[in-house]
Structure 1
Amino acid sequence: MKKSISLLFALILIVACSKDKPDGEASGDYSISGKFVTPNGLDAVSKANVKLFKDDVLVKEAFTDSEGKFTLSELAKDDYELTISKGAFRTSTMVTLADLIDALTLDLDSIPISELPSIAVVTGSWDHIEDVLYNIGLVDPVTQEPLFDIIDGYDVSDRNSNHNHHRENATANRNNPFLQPNVDFGFGDFIESPALLANYDIIFLNCGLNESKTDYSNNLTDYVNNGGLLYATDWAYTYLNDITVGGNQYMSFYDPYKSGSSLSTDAQILNEDLIDWIALNFNIQIPNGTVTIDEFLGGWQVVDTYDQATVLPWLYGPVEYDGISEDKHLAYTFLHGDGGVLYSSFHTENNTTDATTVERLMQYMVFELADMKVPVE
């Protein structure tokens, strides 16, 4: 009887221990490692979701580190599907460990993003986020055309008569001939049409776009509420007044408007991963977690207050505005409905073809914006 009880107890223990292993989890001595990078094959993407499937069953999951690297361990020799995603920026590939003989780790090296979200950029006189998107590889490798739509931010009525007479400053600063408006509608038609807005996963509103269409800002609010992601910088704040209910939700904008006078500040980065990402990947010095932000427009828009319960600030530094000198937060993200918003009081540099520290910050925050809403599989 004692032997039977002992045998029964052992069987129960074996069954119980076996249930501790998740269904489908692989077991073995092998590993897969790699580095997730932007479509240009160069820049690391951190905190991306790495998943390994066997016959459509999830067996391993991890996140990339600040250098875009990951390792999936304790794998058996087999065939797997590997997917890596940062929001709707993603890639998927088949991986086999069956051919490994001596090595225990399959190093996939750099794995670039191959699937992109649908993106619209509305041009502005003072900010060129399209340059950042283009430089990280959102471009057709054969034709060199951008893999996103560019909408004329000053075309608010008759496209044929309004198309190119504006933007003397913007045109002078835009060196890439491919980064001109490439769709057959302008900003006026765009913001007035919920159907057009809904075609895009991410919409970028550059500083210096036409500010006369704020009566249609509710369409942008609905766009975000329904799952869209919205980027707006500096003077494009005027199109956020509807979603913030005039400053009663999320954040309020300082009045007198456009009264920021500082052209540079040493700002503290409030996110440790961002500090690591920019220092490790680009050898940019981050003394005491601070960087120089020197891309303010004379007369930039200051954020007065923000809701700490719903809004995430990214940078904080001493600035001057309306005769006042004090520390202010300078970039923010927040969720609204099924979507999200990124707002920044500063923007990209317009006089160089090389990526600056400020543009690296923008690049990082664009991917964080993209990850605020994970697309439904």
Structure 2
Amino acid sequence: MKKQLLILLLSVLTLVSCSDESNNSSGQKTGTLKGKVTTINTHKAVGGALVFAFDDEKNIYYAYSNAAGDFELNAPIGDRTLYIQTGDGSNFRTNINVVVQENQTQQLEESSLRLDQVARIAYVSGSYDSIEEIIASLGYETESLTYAQLSDYSIVSQYDIIFLNCGSIASSNSISNNPTATTNLAQFVTNGGSLYASDWAIAYLIGGTNRTTACNASGGFIPDSTLCSLGNGSATTLNALITNSALANAIGLTTLDIEYDLASWQKINSVDESFWEVLVRDSTTNEALMIKTNNFYDQSLAGSRVGNSQNSDWITICHVPDENGSSPITITIEASALQDHLDHGDALGSCSAVGTSGTIYYTTFHNHANQNIGNSQFILEHVILNL
């Protein structure tokens, strides 16, 4: 559906999250690295990127880029590898070699800090949604999948990320009558693949026909107890609150108006917040408008990892910072360095995902073929880079 996102209130957080958050309790000598993270071809600023380096003991020094893409990192001196990643680092990342000098500040060339696409990305075309246009606007590449191809796991499993556009299930089709596609998507996520679905495409997740009109509909693979959505949204403007601080810092917004200007869209009626994280809410009713999870995992479908072979020399781990009380951080590293990290106390896999599970995002709003999407573009760009 066509929905235009208009700003209600801007919270420009240009200086938030670019400061160093690393540990230096060991007395390690350091220098400062500064730079700007951008997309690979279009050179748009990337907010919320994790920028990090290690000392010789595999202690991590890290910072996040702010909404303008800027970061400032206090890093251990000497020859270091500087890593830049979004999400868990498995789909978008880059790294460069740097020489950190004691008590010196070094401004890094922007051209060396552009975020590379590692993932192989696909989308299923929709009637009301075209996320592939936003992906292209960032300078990244996608491939088209048909609805029918979702029934062939040998095709589905080639990808790291699949975008399910609103309206991609035609009225002549029914996900409730396509258990093969449903199982394939469940297997895809279980084995590390990430999904994005918008509006009517929630039917892929929880069942229904070309959209969902009742709770506990047949089909889908997400447990019905975790999510209910009804296609009874009407033309309205909702006051939206970005409840996830990392998302707010990354895009430089905390509140906005979301205009749903056509007559029918999927409302989230109930959501289990122990399974899903709510990222954006209606500030008046507290209803969820955007959710995320990496808690789906079906042990019976566990098998070979999905995705691009470029990932074979890299591995995702849960890194334990040296700083007391600091939360573990999910990163992706060279497989050759794995043993050193295990010796440091790190663990295989994501810090938050269940098993090898990938990430699922769902938004009640989306972009449109006419590109009249307002500031939803900032949120959707963040989703793309963090799957």
TM-score by length of 1: 0.66
Paired position in structure 2 for 1:202:
161
Paired position in structure 1 for 2:120:
118
Q: Are the aligned partners of 2:37 and 2:46 in contact in 1 as well (CA < 8 Å)?
A: yes
Paired position in structure 2 for 1:244:
222
Q: Are the aligned partners of 1:231 and 1:341 in contact in 2 as well (CA < 8 Å)?
A: yes
Give the Cα separation in 2 of the matches to 1:92 and 1:109.
Answer: 13
Alpha carbons of structure 1 residues 297 and 117: separation in structure 2 relative to 1, 3 Å: farther
Residue pairs, 1:316-327, within 5 angstroms: 316-317=281-282
Higher strand fraction (1 or 2): 2
Paired position in structure 1 for 2:234:
261
Residue pairs, 1:135-214, within 5 angstroms: 135-138=137-140, 147-151=141-145, 186-188=146-148, 190-211=149-170, 212-214=173-175
Q: Does 1:339 align with 2:358?
A: yes
Give the Cα separation in 2 of the matches to 1:72 and 1:345.
Answer: 36
Give the Cα separation in 2 of the matches to 1:295 and 1:364.
Answer: 21
Q: Which moved more, 1:127-136 or 1:106-115?
A: 106-115
Residue pairs, 1:20-31, within 5 angstroms: 21=26, 27-28=29-30, 30-31=31-32
Alpha carbons of structure 1 residues 115 and 94: separation in structure 2 relative to 1, 3 Å: farther
Q: Does 1:225 align with 2:203?
A: no
CA displacement at 1:116 relative to structure 2: 2.6
- Name which of 135, 156, 160 aligns with 1:133: 135
Once the two structures are superposed, residues 128-180 of structure 1 have per-residue CA deviations (whole angstroms, 9 ceiling, x without a partner) of: 10111111111xxxxxxxx22122xxxxxxxxxxxxxxxxxxxxxxxxxxxxx
Tell me the amino acid that sits aligned with residue 361 of structure 2. Answer: L
Tell me the amino acid that sits aligned with residue 92 of structure 1. Answer: N
Alpha carbons of structure 1 residues 295 and 260: separation in structure 2 relative to 1, 3 Å: closer
Larger radius of gyration: 1
Tell me the amino acid that sits aligned with residue 366 of structure 2. Answer: H
Alpha carbons of structure 1 residues 199 and 116: separation in structure 2 relative to 1, 3 Å: same
Tell me the amino acid that sits aligned with residue 62 of structure 1. Answer: Y
Paired position in structure 1 for 2:106:
106
Give the Cα separation in 2 of the matches to 1:127 and 1:297.
Answer: 13
Alpha carbons of structure 1 residues 340 and 239: separation in structure 2 relative to 1, 3 Å: same
Give the Cα separation in 2 of the matches to 1:90 and 1:33.
Answer: 17
Alpha carbons of structure 1 residues 316 and 69: separation in structure 2 relative to 1, 3 Å: same
Moved over 6 A (4+): none
Once the two structures are superposed, residues 99-128 of structure 1 have per-residue CA deviations (whole angstroms, 9 ceiling, x without a partner) of: x9xx92111143111233111011101001
Unaligned runs of 5+ in 1: 1-19, 139-146, 152-185, 280-285, 320-325, 371-377
**SS in structure 2 opposite 1:114?**
strand
Paired position in structure 2 for 1:89:
92
**SS in structure 2 opposite 1:46?**
coil
Tell me the amino acid that sits aligned with residue 228 of structure 2. Answer: S
Give the Cα separation in 2 of the matches to 1:339 and 1:278.
Answer: 23
Paired position in structure 1 for 2:73:
72
Q: Relative contact order (alpha carbons < 8 A, sep ≥ 6): 1 or 2 greater?
A: 2
The number of residues matched between the two structures is 278
Give the Cα separation in 2 of the matches to 1:295 and 1:207.
Answer: 14
TM-score by length of 2: 0.65
Paired position in structure 1 for 2:245:
272
**SS in structure 2 opposite 1:224?**
helix
Give the Cα separation in 2 of the matches to 1:200 and 1:72.
Answer: 33
| Identical pairs, percent | 27
Alpha carbons of structure 1 residues 74 and 222: separation in structure 2 relative to 1, 3 Å: closer
